[in-house]
Structure 1
Amino acid sequence: MNAQTVQETIELVKGAYTLNKTVTTANDLVAYDLQAPAKNLYPVVTPLRNKIPRVPGKGGVATNWRTVKAIIGSGYDSSPWIPEGQRSARMSYSTAPVAANYVTIGEEDAVTFEAEHAGEGFEDVRATMATRLLQKTMLKEENAILGGNGSLQLGTPGAPALSAAGTTGTLPAATYSVKAVALTLEGYINSSVAAGVATVKNITGADGQQYTLNGGSSNISAGATQAVTLGQILAATVANVVGAVAYAWFVGAAGSETLQAITTINSATFSAPLLTGKQPATAITADCSANPGLAFDGLITTAFNPANNAYVITLPTGDAGQGTPLTPSGKGSVEEIDMMFKAMWDLYELSPTVLYVNSQELQNLTKKVLTSNSAPLLRVNTDAQSEQPFRLAANGTISFYFNPFTADGGKMIPVLLHPKVPPGTIIGWCQELPLWYQNNQVSNVAEVHTRQDYYQLDYPITKRMWESGVYAEEVLAVYAPFAMGILTNIGNG
């Protein structure tokens, strides 16, 4: 290479390096400002799990107890009169044996070695995995305590009743077929119009073994048909199904119905063109409402079971798609809740100690109670000596509900939100039996009876990953199922 060639090469190199005379962020010669650790933006709300006592069991496949349901006086049950010098006849008892089978709940997760090493300096991924694994198990347990279903089969709903009326709809003129599927609380949580009604899920465990879970849906009803002209609104209602808190609606030409809506009342209306690409009615082939042998009955399922004598009221169907809203009493209360309180006192001489509601029903309760008839609605507290104008806080809501039907002159009952109580349902629960249930031997109205409480399994290394599971063997033992009340099928309004 001669001197001229060398010089030309040097000049070319200089030219290349002088193209970018300034280093900017566009050159990507920058640090990465990553905040550690990861921010967990998910709620872990488990009020029932946190409040219900956990009691260790004593082995076996079930926890068993006997209930003395009544003590029955001789002669006339309530008349104590005895002639002079004579003895009374002997009293008798009404008893019943009860058994609740233990089941297993749990969840698993894993972290690869590479993920662990890559997370160094960011977070301890094995530790955070364990925390999130425990939290998810707790969330699943909360759902089970509220709405687990091991015994109550929904069966097959009756065919819907249909009608068409109005002039404001945009539903194309046609003859439509409508079918309905009832949903338990688990079914309502597991289902959506986008994802479809939950039926059966085949699950492959981390050990490679398979099992199936039912999603909480009934079998599908027979179809009913209705001719609709342009402008009319199609309305459908179905007879209430015991144990259901929601209903899924399949609409379309006969034989081609698809999922169009899920409601928390037993009616629906359709005024616009049908959604396309949704789950077909042919996907529903069996009653998948319960998981016998795998699940225990939660509070809602226990209350819905007619044999348990809980106070359960399903509001009338009302206007299709609207249902029947709660009724204001005109004296600062709600008729249906007052009736529930009165009935629970008349039947069992007890009162709920808490009302669990959805955000929709909290709003509805507030609207029914805070009316012009429930004055005074506003109280202003201000310092007469202050030169500052008084200030008001906007909005108000119901935080307590007064129950006058108690032996001690009345009780203030907290009204609490629960994220998994569905719209259209209100739960009243007596968490502690009153003092006049003397010698009841029921220190807890309900217990999570644990054969083996939460335990974590760290599996032997067979792959280049850390595998872990959190499990518990338990059952919800509800000793006084009559101490619950449910209002359901409540319309929004």
Structure 2
Amino acid sequence: MALPNADVLFGDSPYAPPLSKADAAVRFDELMKAIDNAPTRTVGAQDVVAAFSAGHGLDFTSQPTSAYGMLTKALDTPAITKGLSPEALASVTDALAQLKAQQPDLVKDITTSSPLSSGLVAFDLEAPAKLLTPRPTPLRNRIARRKGVGLSHRFKRITGITGSGTGGVGVFHPGIADSTQTNFAPAGASNSLYYARGPKISYAGDDQVVPYFQFSASDEVTWSAQYAGQGYQDVRQLSRTSLLYSSMLLEERMLLMGRGTATGFSGALTAPTGVTLAARSAAAGETAISGATTNVYVKVTSDAGDFGQSVLSSAANVAVSAGQVVDVTCTLPAGATGVRVYVSTGASDPGDASRWYAGRSGYNLFTLQGALPTAGVAASTVTADTSAYANGYDGILPIVTGPNSGYTRQLNAALSTQSPGSEFQTAFAAMYQAVKAEPDRILFNGSDRKQLSEALKGSSSSNYRLTVTQDQLTGVTLGDVVNTIINEVNGKGVAVEVHPWMPQGNTAILSDTLPMPDTQVSDVWAVYNVQDLMGVDWPVQQFAYESSSYWYGTFLCYAPAWNGSVTGIKLV
């Protein structure tokens, strides 16, 4: 900016004697010389910081941390408050307040939470997402899968011949003499030819028709999800992979515990009967009921595993007092994997809409203790049977607990500790006696297998012994597990296996093959599929990618009598 000329700076003034133009020029020259000789300095950012840190000559008791703080403190000093009128001081203060409200980022330090709560930081996000979903399918991996055609799979069975002791066919003594004469003509026939021969043998058999069923699962990925995930994960690929795993897992569970309603299948479970409640003092390790001071009302259903339950039973009730628990007992129908309990409380029964799911038991007793449920799944949602499905087949558990099984037993107790494994020895003997079965494996729930192993170690009658060898002096491996039960009938080892989805309280005694030659049965259990599992990508009809799985088939057991079950195992 140009300086004013000499006349403007030093010209005539009503308050001073007039100057000649020569005198004014001299004074102007002296001013310019003084300006030229003045010291110069460039003020940088560090000078500003140093000025704030030093207080800039102001008497601060604590140093400000921002420009706003510096100006605010400066306005409080006597030099400023005396030099400005009250109106001017108020105007400056108000302007600073508005500046702070409009530009908070200028009056705060930058930290991990300022000026943004999420921080001005990068995200250390690891791609892709981790798929932490268990997906074991041991039955699906083991059971034979064969090609089917048509609407159903059919086969014929010869279930007994004279002397086999099976199929309801009796026996006869085959001894004959020279004089023995036997006529094969049916009763009432005119044929009266007699020959020297023994009696004619008999047969029993049946036709088996197992219908095919369609199965499917689906998933959808919106375009926004797919495109927003670019650079992180292929969401469409994740959807397809998850759909494949889900379909396999659902089939695995059907193979284990599915129930069908078509002809020849087990059908729906009936509700438990004989429901009784007994209030008693809480024992050691139990928690007395809370949330109930009058009566407890209970209804139960028969558990069908992962796919549902029966209808509700009739209600039972009992009065409870402080310090008590309630034992719920019932009679379970054949095929039930346990009991589900629904409870409510009050001076009178509040009805199913207020009866809440309290838990499940793998045998016929459930103990109500602790805080009674007041939310969650209500009994009012159990309005129809979900234990069996028209579009489904019988899995292993319904077959080995059904009327055609070679052995069924509901223990309603813990496994024996006096003679560990005796429940299965009884089963082996009965199955051998009936059809000469020699089972290959037993499927357990993990908790029940642990109970069997603990029973072996804790039994006073067993020859179990812990031995510490020389190389274990600095470290001992604890624990042991039962992996085989020797069949005391025929000396064969029966494998003990844990199935990941087996409901607690249930075991399945299985034969993979038959112990007889020329049976024409290569595998006792088999899957027949008209179309095995496949994936379908639907045409894009909207802003989404849609996929489905599909398979069309059935599951069957050629020889149910060579399989059995022990259920109702109490959890300890």
What is the TM-score when the length of structure 1 is the normalising length? 0.81
Distance, in Å, in 1 between the alignment partners of 2:326 and 2:163 is 58
Q: CA deviation at 1:64?
A: 0.7
- Asked if the contact 1:62–1:99 (Cα under 8 Å) also holds between the matched residues in 2, the reply is yes
- Structure 1: unaligned runs, 5 residues or longer: 4-9, 188-215, 317-323
Partner of 1:326: 415
Tell me if 1:118 matches 2:210.
no
Structure 2: tracts of 5 or more residues without a match? 4-44, 49-65, 68-102, 180-195, 262-266
Could you say which structure has the higher strand fraction?
Answer: 1
Which of 68, 91, 101 aligns to 2:158? It is 68
Name the residue aligned to 1:40: 131
Q: Which residue of 2 aligns with 1:6?
A: none
1:220 counterpart letter in structure 2? L
SS in 2 for 1:374: coil
Aligned to 1:373: 461
Residue deviations 1:294-340 (CA, integer Å, cap 9, x gap):
1111011122221x133110114xxxxxxx1111344xx32211111
* Aligned counterpart for 1:135 among listed residues 230, 245, 248: 245
Aligned partner (choices 390, 403, 409) of residue 487 of structure 2? 403
Given that 1:182 and 1:217 are in contact with CA atoms closer than 8 Å, whether structure 2 keeps it comes out as: yes
**Amino acid aligned to 2:398:** T
In structure 2, relative to structure 1, the CA distance for the partners of 1:289 and 1:23 (3 Å cut) is closer
Q: Is the 8 A contact 2:416 2:423 kept in 1?
A: yes
For the structure 1 residues 110 and 363, does the alpha-carbon distance in structure 2 shift closer, same or farther, using more than 3 Å as the test? same
User: For each residue in 1:252-289, what CA deviation from the matched residue of structure 2 results, as whole angstroms up to 9, or x when unmatched?
Assistant: 34243512232222122224452212444333333332
Q: In structure 2, which of residues 555, 566, 571 is the aligned counterpart of residue 476 of structure 1?
A: 555
Query: Which of 220, 228, 231 is matched with 2:323 structurally?
Result: 231
SS of residue matched to 1:109: strand
Q: Are the aligned partners of 1:327 and 1:335 in contact in 2 as well (CA < 8 Å)?
A: yes
Partner of 1:302: 399
Q: How does 1:394-433 map to 2 (within 5 A)?
A: 394-406=478-490, 410-433=491-514
Q: Is the 8 A contact 1:63 1:100 kept in 2?
A: yes
- Give the counterpart letter for 1:430 in structure 2: S
The answer to whether 1:217 aligns with 2:309 is yes
Q: Taking structure 1 as reference, are residues 137 and 92 closer, same or farther at Cα in structure 2, changes over 3 Å only?
A: same
Provide closer, same or farther for how the CA distance between residues 481 and 107 of structure 1 changes in structure 2, counting only shifts above 3 A: same
Aligned length: 437
Q: 2:407 aligns with which of 306, 311, 314?
A: 311
Could you tell me whether the CA contact under 8 Å between 1:235 and 1:270 is conserved in 2? yes
- Give the number of the structure whose residues are more often helix, by fraction: 2
Q: Which residue matches 1:321?
A: none
Q: CA, structure 1 residues 328+167, in 2 after alignment: closer, same or farther (shift >3 Å)?
A: closer
In the alignment, is the contact (CA less than 8 A) between 1:72 and 1:92 conserved in 2?
A: yes
1:51 aligns with 2:142: yes
Name the % identity.
Answer: 29
The alignment partner of 2:273 has SS state of coil
Corresponding residue of 1:449: 528
In structure 2, the CA distance between the partners of 1:298 and 1:22, relative to structure 1 (3 Å rule), is closer
Contact 2:151 2:212 in 1 (8 A): yes
What letter matches 1:356 in structure 2?
A: L
**Structure 1 contact 358–425 (Cα < 8 Å) conserved:** yes
Rounded to whole Å, the distance in 2 between the matches of 1:217 and 1:473 is 25
Structure 1 residues 18 and 328, CA gap change in structure 2 (3 angstroms):
closer
Structure number with larger C-alpha Rg: 2
* Aligned equivalent of 1:80: 174
In 2, the alpha carbon distance for the partners of 1:167 and 1:450 equals 53
The whole-number CA distance in structure 1 between the counterparts of 2:364 and 2:111 is: 67
Q: TM-score, normalised by structure 2?
A: 0.70
Q: CA-atom RMSD, angstroms?
A: 3.1
Residues 406 and 562 in structure 2, CA contact (< 8 A), matched pair in contact too: yes
Shift of the 370–455 alpha-carbon distance from structure 1 to 2, 3 Å rule, reads same
